[in-house]
Structure 1
Amino acid sequence: MSLLTGKIVCVTGSSRGIGRACAIECAKHGATGLVLHYFGDDVTEGEIRSLKAEIEGAYTYAKVATVPGDIADPATAVKAIAVGVESFGRIDVLVSNAGICPFADFLTMPHATWERTRQVNLDGTFYVTQAVANQMKTQVPQGGAIIGISSISALVGGGTQCHYTPTKAGILSLMQSCAIALGKYNIRANAVLPGTIATDINKEDLADEKKKDGMIQRTCLRRLGGESISVSQSISSQTSSLAPDDIAGPVVFLASDLAKYVTGASLLVDGGLFVNLQ
């Protein structure tokens, strides 16, 4: 079933992890245009080239436009939307995913760590959401779907995440307020709250096998997100090893017309981690 046939989708932070999986899943479900933002250093440059080649090779109807830049810079958001409109004429879906989580002790945390985390995670989400909303308001037909990638950390604390959890709570709140502000323009805004997903952002933290096993045992499904990936759910085995498609599926749902009456919602996707208090 192609849920996004003909849709134009913009994904920030798309070179790896959740963003990469979302880009692949959107193409799989029929998106014909993908605007893929990435940071722009040597590493992400290579990753985005391989992603573009994989998508356009596997899904011949899908075309990819790429946009490098620091999402904490408002100009990057403006450029991403402009490239999308220039390449495809409109933007139907935004997946605001770019984010960082440099684990740090609260009492000794440099203020620069707080500033950078807020700038990338929360400020960047605000900038790209505002830019795409202005485009969705003016395009014909009017409207679109905005999905902010928040986190279970918007609901619970973390001793080495005192700088990170407030940004994810802010993204959740931003999506709720945008649902109110933008509904009259036929723009939906929703948040996805991943639990612990095996990606580069937390690979060092999960290298502690005792901690990792504890997290697995706390989930109702007894696995971390992204750790049980079938070959049919990814383009290549190289991608599937870290492809967190557990999040990409719910993102596609919220982007699609199946969710046409869903806005201001928060979808917790955590394998039952949050509810398992016993």
Structure 2
Amino acid sequence: MSRSAEPLAAASPRVFARPVPVALVSIAALTLMGWSILFWEAIRRGGGADAFLEALCTPAAVLAAPSLAGALSALALSIGMWIAMSVAMMLPTASALVVGYADRAETARAAGERAVSPLVLGAGYLSVWIAVSVVVALVQTGVSVAFATVDMPERIVGVLGGAALGAAGLYQFTAFKLSCLVAVGSPFAGREEGWLSRPRAVYALGLRQGAACVGCCWAMMAVLALLGAMNLVWMAVFSAIMAAEKLVATERAATIVGTGLIAAGVALSVMAVGPEAITDYLAR
């Protein structure tokens, strides 16, 4: 090894032992892995560009399974895709939390104090979303099985999708939503002295922030679940909206998102019914 390479090799382990680089690399790697799994599954299904824009998060594979073993295997795959979706969508929205903690941990270590790795905080946060993913996959599968023989007209599906978007928009104005947003916006408020050095306290913070994040985002995630097969483009759009809202974490941000969702729901319902049909009805 050359002399110029020796300092670089010696510095690299020290750099990645610091909390901030660990947090940034971990978030980027896990997010990339989540999106890669979703894209891989879309490509595996075949069908060109349309399939490329679809993720698995639908229980259709379970319904088509020829045996109990096949159904359980398909359900396990669906749960796996929901977990991948949660990591891909929700971990980036927690970047401010994880990096903010890592910055505090790095400052503490520079002062000679002990601080837990930001990976512990991230594990607590993701534990909540993994549990949610399992529950959502099971519920979605049960609903799909219950309504497997129902052939709903496309117009009704569009109206229901618009109603779901509108309901998610209305949720943005509730006191519970706003309280969760406040908790997300101030994750380190009221922390007792020395908590950075206690793994249990750091993991518990991750759990609490994960739960607050679910409180903030469950309505938008439910919209994606209720609409069946996921579209990766809309997943990316919703992820960006949730990340921006949590970064700002103000009532105004929640109001803007809520208003946009209600408007989108109305537009989707109108397009599903048809402007002409609405005009004819009003003209009677």
Q: TM-score, normalised by structure 2?
A: 0.27
- Between 1 and 2, higher relative CO (CA 8 Å, sep ≥ 6) is seen in 2
Q: Which structure shows the bigger proportion of residues in helix conformation?
A: 2
Larger Rg: 2
Q: Which structure shows the bigger proportion of residues in strand conformation?
A: 1
